[in-house]
Chain A
Amino acid sequence: MSAIDRNRFPEPGAIRPFEFPPVARRRISNGLDLRVARMTRLPVVSLNLYVDAGESALDTARAGLAVLTGDALEGGTAHHSGVELAEALEGIGATLGVGTGWEGTSVSLTCLADRIDEALRLLAEAALEPSFPAEEVERARDQQLAEIRRRRMDPGTLAGDEAARRYYREESPYARPLGGTERSVAPVGRESVRGFAEAFYRPVHGGLVVTGDVDIGEVESLAEECFAGWEGAPPPLREISVEPRTRERRLWVVDRPDAVQSEVRIGHVGAARSSEHFFALTVLNTVLGGAFTSRLNLNLRERNGFTYGVRSRFSFRRRPGPFQVSTAVGSDVTADAVREAIHEIEALIAEGPTEEEVAAARDFVAGVFPLRLETTGQVASRLAELIVYGLPDDYYHRYRDRVRAVSVDDAAEAGRTYIRPGELQVVVVGDARTVAPALERLDLGPVEVVEGSGT
């Protein structure tokens, strides 16, 4: 056994290149955008059908309808009852996942590759021919109302929802919870759901992504067969307000008497997915709060023990989603934690990140990229994003080069452009009696205590 010098940091070996899986792109006859990536690690396949049917399309009075429509797909089809549909899917080992976001709805599943025929047929049937039985729609609605109630009583989700209301104006969809409110969801019935699907579940601007151990030609002809006769485009995108609700820094305490911890959100309106500063912001945010060794986490967790963890992120959407710091901290140290978080944001924007920090962040973001592309489901989600945000076909093939091209000046400029410390809204869900006086003493801005709307 050769003695080794443990003080010596091991040199990396020879780099093995990572290539994003090659993607075949076809347009099938009804206009649906088909993308197929062949991945052969295991005999599995992921299917992801995307339609441009998101919550942003809805005004406040109809908030939550896109989510409800997606959830109600499991209620049954023209050919199968809800139970029969579930039995058929689960009989081939697949569970249908329906995810609705601000931009659109994804209907997806993963199963063994030799079951792709049946899987794609069932997925297409569920998405294209839903029958929306009245009682199934009502059940989905009542479950959604229960979920809205749950969000009001879970301090973490309550904090996020309350913060969004402080960042955006009331008329903006981004000001409200994705799943809507009791007022907007309670009156929804079968006709609204059917009308929404009829209008928005359309092939144009949508897409089908297939990833896994498949033959591209076979997928193409299968897709032609499954989606034949499905036609049309959804209504054009609606203009939405993304103006900040205020330009004044303010602090809000949502009272949860005797809470042992405070859920904290600090943020404001951020940047759109199409921002030319996307990569610079991603790097900058890594320095601030996007990794374990980011400034916020090393301060609030590893130096001060205020929290189990803290993160910052930009929610890049078609229109600017929030920039936000999230953490949960002990009640007695809440004001200290808020002070430190704001201090870290201010210092980063005023002085900019260091060369060393930007280099480390670039290496991290570029390095972990392949780690997040191991499964067919992960690659399918990334490819669906190309469709949602209209990104170029070679986007992921060039992703790491673009990360590595971010300079310290790019990162600093992006920070100054998109993070405005003087406009941050601070939302604390916690014990107002303990937290509010200490927040007042920070003198960061006006503090207002609002009723906990937990019940």
Chain B
Amino acid sequence: MSLHVPIRRHTLDNGLRVVLSRDTTVPVVAVNLWYGVGSRNEPPGRTGFAHLFEHMMFQGSEHVPKNRHFELVERAGGSVNATTWFDRTNYFETVPSHHLELALWLESDRMGWMLPAMDQDKLDNQRDVVKNERRQRYDNQPYGDWDERLHALVYPESHPYHHSVIGSMDDLDRATLDDVADFFRTFYVPNNAVLTLCGDFDEDRALELVARYFSEIPSRGPIPDIPGDAEVDPVIGRTVREHVRSSVPLPRVIMAARIPTFADPSFPVAEVTAAVLGTGKASRLYRRLVRERKVATDVVTYAFPLLTGASMLFLWATGYPGSEPQELEDALAGELNALARAGDDEVRRAVTLTETHLVRSIERVGDRADLLSMFALYFDEPERLNEEIDRLRAVTVADVRSFSARYFGPDNRAVLTYEPEVAT
């Protein structure tokens, strides 16, 4: 099969890229905005700011008082949220289709008129909320800081992925209202954003509404370079390690490698290789480590779709009570080495699983809009969504073998080990 998601593009005079994708099967519409700013844009001492700023975007704008954004969308029967990541920040609503204009009004108001609504109380309040988010997801959670530690291992200190999206408590404490204003003026500009509408709407009418609400927002100067040193060696150069003793229930070994970026033609090979290793119960790691050898209780693999310098692929295995971490590490390394003998069947299966996952990930208009925004922002090519299946299908067993030989050696390996601190 292949995908035929309808795509219409338009660019406003202020540089805002607009993507329209119609689907009238359910009377709902997704409004999805991606801004080209994420934690990679944070200079040293300002970690976590892009995400804190995302919270501030919900604190009202000139014509929308605090809480009103949520009140109006919920009253309309919609859902609303936002996320911050390394390379971008996204904001999205899905609303019943007759409330499209409401969502456009809200999104345009904060893109154009956010700053008049900012004050110190709101900043202090959201700083507390974000600190509690950090506590809940990282500090008070077994293994919660794993991705923070892993990024610090895989990327050098000068690289923008060295620090986590959530950032440090100290840096959050430093954030000021002036920082909010500067960040807004620098990054939250129409020429640094993509707006996607997906779902039930009339295209001409929708474009007219988009123009009405967004076109008076002025574009601004060039987006500053990413701080630090985005260029990085394609491999780590050696095996780097960190051993953490903490209050985790079971030992876990997480192994990661630098891989080419999401923009690289070999990225589909990375995705398929991650699936060969860890997607489904016929995958290599599940079959060997969980089912046959019974050294692991669970396994996970993932190729991060990152843009800057190098991306990352990781695999993890969680042991049983009393497992030796070394045994888990050896087992993971053994499976990476064994990819040299990867077979055609498993690669075809991994492709099939990955493409089915892709089709399922466009079932909801909100998810579909998110992918279209991503391809539009990252590559200026939302049409890439329709080519993804072909890109996956083109991956061969030879690709998987040579990719593995190139990237999965001990010269390109980070090993993060968690070991329970209490004798059990």
Contacts and interface: CB of A to CB of B under 8 A. Distances in A.
A259 B63 CA distance: 41
Contact of B291 (A1, A16, A83): A83
Interface residues of B, number: 90
Interface in A331-382: 360, 363-364, 366-371, 373-377
B234 interface: no
B294 interface: yes
Could you say which interface size class chain A belongs to?
Answer: 35 or more
B140 interface: yes
B44 interface: no
B135 A41 contact: no
Contact of B211 (A1, A92, A153, A371): A1
Interface in B215-248: 215-216, 247-248
A305 B26 contact: no
Contacts of A307: 129, 132, 136
Nearest to A2: B212
Contact of B249 (A153, A298, A302): A153
B74 A370 contact: no
Given A153-B142, A375-B364, A91 B424 contact: no
A286 to B, nearest CB: 9
B253 to A, nearest CB: 15
Nearest to A301: B129
Interface stretch (A141-149, A233-241, A266-274, A437-445): A141-149
Contacts of B75: 360, 363-364, 367
A30 B318 CA distance: 43
Given A1-B216, A292-B74, A307-B132, A302 B109 contact: no
B97 A16 contact: yes
Interface stretch (B264-272, B308-316, B331-339, B348-356): B348-356
B247 A454 contact: yes
Given A153-B247, A371-B94, A293 B67 contact: yes
Nearest to A303: B125
Interface in A131-147: 136, 139, 142-143, 146-147
Interface stretch (B187-195, B255-263, B280-288): B280-288
B360 A330 contact: no
B94 A6 contact: no
Interface string B61-84: 011001100111011111110000
Interface string A403-439: 0000000000000000000000000000000000000
Given A41-B26, A308-B129, A371-B28, A91 B349 contact: yes
B249 A152 contact: yes
Interface in B63-118: 63, 66-67, 70-72, 74-80, 94, 96-102, 104-105, 109, 113
B281 to A, nearest CB: 4
Given A139-B291, A371-B28, A155 B140 contact: yes
Most buried by B among A17, A39, A40, A371: A371
B98 A146 contact: no
Given A16-B98, A153-B249, A302 B125 contact: yes
Contacts of B162: none
A12 interface: yes
Contacts of A2: 212
Nearest to A91: B349
Contact of B132 (A7, A93, A96, A306): A306
A25 interface: no
A41 B3 CA distance: 12
Given A15-B96, A83-B287, A260-B140, A41 B102 contact: no
A82 B104 CA distance: 51
Interface string A236-266: 0000000000000000000000011101000
A17 B98 contact: no
A149 B250 contact: yes
A90 B352 contact: yes
A430 to B, nearest CB: 9
B328 to A, nearest CB: 13
Contacts of B76: 12, 363, 367
Given A13-B100, A367-B77, A368-B78, A110 B360 contact: yes
Contacts of B102: 9-10, 12
Interface in A1-35: 1-2, 4, 6-7, 9-18
Interface in A84-108: 86-87, 89-96
Nearest to B169: A260
A328 interface: yes
B370 interface: no
A360 to B, nearest CB: 5
Given A6-B113, A16-B96, A367-B77, 12 more contacts: A6-B63, A13-B98, A18-B26, A18-B27, A87-B345, A139-B290, A146-B321, A149-B249, A328-B140, A363-B77, A366-B77, A374-B365
Interface of A: 1-2, 4, 6-7, 9-18, 39-44, 74, 82-83, 86-87, 89-96, 110-112, 136, 139, 142-143, 146-147, 149-150, 152-156, 259-261, 263, 291-293, 298, 301-308, 328-330, 360, 363-364, 366-371, 373-377, 454-455
Interface of B: 1, 23, 25-28, 62-63, 66-67, 70-72, 74-80, 94, 96-102, 104-105, 109, 113, 124-133, 135-137, 139-142, 200, 211-213, 215-216, 247-250, 279-283, 286-287, 290-291, 294, 297-298, 318, 320-321, 345, 348-349, 352-353, 355-357, 359-360, 362-365, 422, 424
26 contacts: A1-B211, A9-B102, A9-B105, A10-B101, A10-B105, A12-B101, A13-B100, A18-B27, A44-B363, A86-B280, A86-B281, A86-B282, A86-B286, A87-B345, A94-B356, A111-B356, A139-B290, A146-B321, A153-B248, A302-B66, A302-B67, A330-B135, A368-B77, A371-B78, A374-B363, A375-B363
